[in-house]
């Protein structure tokens, strides 16, 4: 799927998050209790016949997560995406952290766009990578600075920024990689993008 096509279809996968949603269960419970106190109890009726049961589907919903072609959009105008497919390659002599994966790593670019009205503190966000049974792949330290540790400064309203990071991931695990971005602002929830990484020497 092209980036343009993915963006056009993102409405079906966009997850809108906002802090006030946490108040909904409390308000709903209060309204139910108030309604119960204002109505009389109806006479008991015969129990309805049980409906025939159907087996629950084990297939995950398409809304369960994001792919590398998707864009996560928040209620306050913030959008997060993995900019392109993560690429796998061997570490250079200036890159440290992939010793346990025999020098094998992936390079991930994350793009955050701030469509809100206030600066977004991107320097507080946390980007991690998961694969197989590894919940936190080791971050690559690049002496040249080409690979960063994360965003270094706020993103002004109406602006965007991209950060490129490296993580120690063996080539044997490239078929299922997850990239989690936690905005770290106590308002927007973490989002996870999942898909396959590509070998840099095989990418088209």
| pTM of the predicted protein model | 0.71
Angle at 73 between CA 67 and CA 77, to 5 degrees: 160
The whole-angstrom distance between residue 190's C-alpha and the CA centroid of its chain comes to 6
pLDDT score recorded for residue 44: 55
pLDDT score recorded for residue 203: 67
pLDDT score recorded for residue 65: 82
pLDDT score recorded for residue 14: 54
3-state per-residue secondary structure call for 18-51: CHHHHHHHHHHHHHHHHHHHCCCCCCCCCCCCCC
CATH architecture of 3-22+63-199: Sandwich (2.60)
pLDDT score recorded for residue 204: 60
pLDDT score recorded for residue 23: 32
Nearest to 91 by CA among 77, 81, 83, 102: 102
H/E stretch holding 7 reads helix 3-8
Indicate left, alpha or beta for 35 from its phi (over 0: left) and psi (-120 to 50: alpha): alpha
pLDDT score recorded for residue 109: 98
pLDDT of the chain, 204 residues: tens digit per residue: 434 333 333 333 455 444 333 333 434 444 444 454 445 455 555 555 544 443 332 223 334 589 999 999 999 999 999 999 999 999 999 999 999 999 999 999 999 999 999 999 999 999 999 999 999 999 999 999 999 999 999 999 999 999 999 999 999 999 999 999 999 988 899 999 999 999 998 766
pLDDT in tens, 109-157: 999 999 999 999 999 999 999 999 999 999 999 999 999 999 999 999 9
Strands 177-182 and 191-195: antiparallel
């Amino acid at each position: 799927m092209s980036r343009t096509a993915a963006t056009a279809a993102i409405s079906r996968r966009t997850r809108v998050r906002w802090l006030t949603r946490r108040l909904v269960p409390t308000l709903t419970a209060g309204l139910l209790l108030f309604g119960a106190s204002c109505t009389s109890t109806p006479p008991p009726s015969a129990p309805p016949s049980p409906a025939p049961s159907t087996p629950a589907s084990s297939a995950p919903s398409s809304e369960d997560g994001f792919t590398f072609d998707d864009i996560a959009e928040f209620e306050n105008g913030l959008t997060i995406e993995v900019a392109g497919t993560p690429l796998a390659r061997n570490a250079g002599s200036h890159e440290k952290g992939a010793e346990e994966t025999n020098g094998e790593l992936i390079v991930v670019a994350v793009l955050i766009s701030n469509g809100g009205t206030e600066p977004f503190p991107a320097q507080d966000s946390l980007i991690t990578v998961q694969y197989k049974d590894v919940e936190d792949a080791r971050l690559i330290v690049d002496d040249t600075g080409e690979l960063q540790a994360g965003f270094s400064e706020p993103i002004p309203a109406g602006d965007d920024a991209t950060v490129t990071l490296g993580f120690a991931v063996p080539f044997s695990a490239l078929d299922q990689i997850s990239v989690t971005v936690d905005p770290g602002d106590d308002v927007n929830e973490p989002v996870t993008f999942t898909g396959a990484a590509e070998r840099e020497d095989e990418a088209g």
